[in-house]
């Protein structure tokens, strides 16, 4: 799959497709809906994209490829482990606050793709997740903290990704401010959590 | 709507309906699918439930009503603000780890209901959200912390709700352990976040 380049036309069609999936859900959207929204003929759509599944695959692939590319560029500018986690959070939120429709589509159709498409997207996502685990590892090593990264990193993704359900640009702050506050919660949370674990009294609830 | 009681039959049908919505998405599921899965005739389903929308409404209403009832009982047993937040987290996770299909359906069909159904469910959810805001207020007051609750509470919901996308009972700990660790991250996160805000250097990223 070397040399795959999404030109403007493709990006635009994917944007329209993401909007249709956003409105109708993947299962509820038809190629006819996608053709209508993108202004491309139905036969053209089939010719270039083959199937609804292929379109979803391209949306997912473009999204994660873009996020990871931007992230790598930004990470090159910082060596402090805390700052690198803050960059990760800001990069993620900035992309998704601009592309909230894509964010919902990606969240909802997480397991929709099968076979090769699904495996390829899963691999890109796993690499993205692993970057975050690595950043947390570096942070914890520097601060001499213990604790497994899995739950912490997945909690962070939850904090960030859930935003598509509640973000209101008229009420809520911008990506930088939100990234700063989520970064505070997360970094302090994992900084203090590990040492406290052992001494935390197991109180029975209920 | 006084005296609404969900008997076992109803609960079972709702469980089947949640499974169908989980598998096919709300938009992709038909009353015929729901009839097949629940073992109720199509005409019976229309007679008792009127519409797919009504079924989704009942699933959402039963879920949140149950969670809030259990929560109130458990909160009656504790007065310590930290402990009460931990109860909230455990109650939420315990319910949803057992009912992960319902959790996905609720997340995905958050804005599907319209009119009266939607307004009623939204009111129950708002009340639930407000309980959490209140618990955080109490905690922050006791610890003399500042900071708006909205972003913190929505971050907590994100941490907890995202779990339906990743939880694997063969790998991950049980609800009590996960609730403990998320509680650590969240409580330490909000404890330290507020005072740190002002001194946080605004480094430009990128």
For chain B, the domains span: 53-193
A59 CA to chain B: closest CA distance, Å? 19
Asked if A59 contacts A105 with a C-beta cutoff of 8 angstroms, the reply is: yes
CA distance A25 to chain B (A): 7
Rounded Cα distance between A197 and B180, Å, is 9
Burial degree of B63 (CB within 10 A; 0-12, 13-18, 19+): buried
Using a CB-CB distance cutoff of 8 angstroms, which residues of chain A are in contact with residue B158?
158-163
End-to-end C-alpha distance for chain B, whole angstroms: 55
Q: Hey, what are B113's tokens?
A: 């209901």
Residues in chain A predicted with pLDDT less than 70, given as ranges, are 1-7, 193-206
Position B100 scores a pLDDT of 85
In chain B, what residues touch A109 (CB-CB under 8 Å)? Answer: none
Contact A110, A27 (CB under 8 A): no
Q: Name the average pLDDT for chain B.
A: 87
**CA–CA dist A63, A103 (Å, integer):** 9
pLDDT digits (tens, 9 = 90+) for B8-19: 778 888 889 999
Residues of A in contact with B26 (CB under 8 A): 25
Helix axes A115-143, A175-199, angle to 10 degrees: 70
A98 touches B at CB < 8 Å: no
* Cβ–Cβ gap A196/B184 under 8 Å: yes
Q: Spelled out in words, what is the top-level CATH class assigned to the domain A53-194?
A: mainly alpha
| pLDDT tens digits, one per residue of B155-181 | 999 999 999 899 999 999 999 999 999
**In angstroms, how far apart are the furthest CA atoms of chain B?**
65
Q: Is A27 exposed, middle or buried (0-12, 13-18, 19+ CB in 10 A)?
A: middle
Neighbours of B143 (CB within 10 A): 13
| CA end-to-end span of chain A | 55
Q: Nearest-CA distance from A110 to chain B in Å?
A: 8
- Length of chain B, please? 206
Say what the pLDDT of residue A7 is. 67
pLDDT of residue A204: 46
* Predicted pLDDT of residue B205: 46
Using a CB–CB cutoff of 8 Å, tell me whether A77 touches chain B.
Answer: yes
**A50 Cβ contact list (under 8 Å, min separation 6):** none
Per-residue pLDDT reduced to its tens digit, B16-48: 999 999 888 888 899 999 999 988 899 989 988
The whole-number pLDDT of residue B11 equals: 81
pLDDT of residue B10: 82
The CATH superfamily label for domain B53-193 reads Tetracycline Repressor, domain 2 (1.10.357.10)
Inter-residue contact A103 to A161 (CB < 8 Å): yes
A165: which DSSP letter? G
**Distance (Å, rounded) from C-alpha A123 to C-alpha B186?**
30
Tell me the mean pLDDT in the region B84-89. 98
């Amino acid at each position: 799959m070397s040399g795959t380049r999404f030109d403007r036309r493709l990006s635009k069609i994917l944007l329209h497709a993401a909007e249709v999936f956003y409105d109708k859900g993947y299962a509820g959207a038809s190629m006819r809906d996608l053709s209508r929204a993108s202004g491309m003929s139905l036969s053209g759509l089939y010719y270039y994209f083959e199937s609804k599944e292929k379109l979803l695959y391209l949306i997912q692939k473009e999204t994660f490829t873009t996020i990871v590319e931007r992230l790598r560029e930004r990470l090159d500018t910082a060596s402090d482990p805390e700052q690198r986690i803050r960059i990760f959070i800001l990069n993620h939120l900035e992309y998704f606050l601009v592309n909230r429709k894509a964010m919902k589509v990606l969240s909802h159709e997480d397991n929709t793709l099968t076979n090769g498409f699904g495996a390829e997207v899963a691999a890109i996502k796993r690499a993205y997740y692993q970057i975050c685990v690595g950043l947390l590892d570096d942070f914890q090593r520097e601060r001499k903290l213990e604790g497994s990264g899995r739950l912490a990193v997945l909690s962070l993704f939850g904090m960030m990704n859930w935003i598509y359900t509640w973000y209101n640009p008229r009420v809520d702050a911008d990506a930088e401010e939100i990234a700063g506050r989520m970064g505070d919660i997360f970094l302090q949370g994992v900084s203090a959590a590990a040492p406290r674990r052992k001494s935390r009294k197991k109180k029975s609830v209920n």
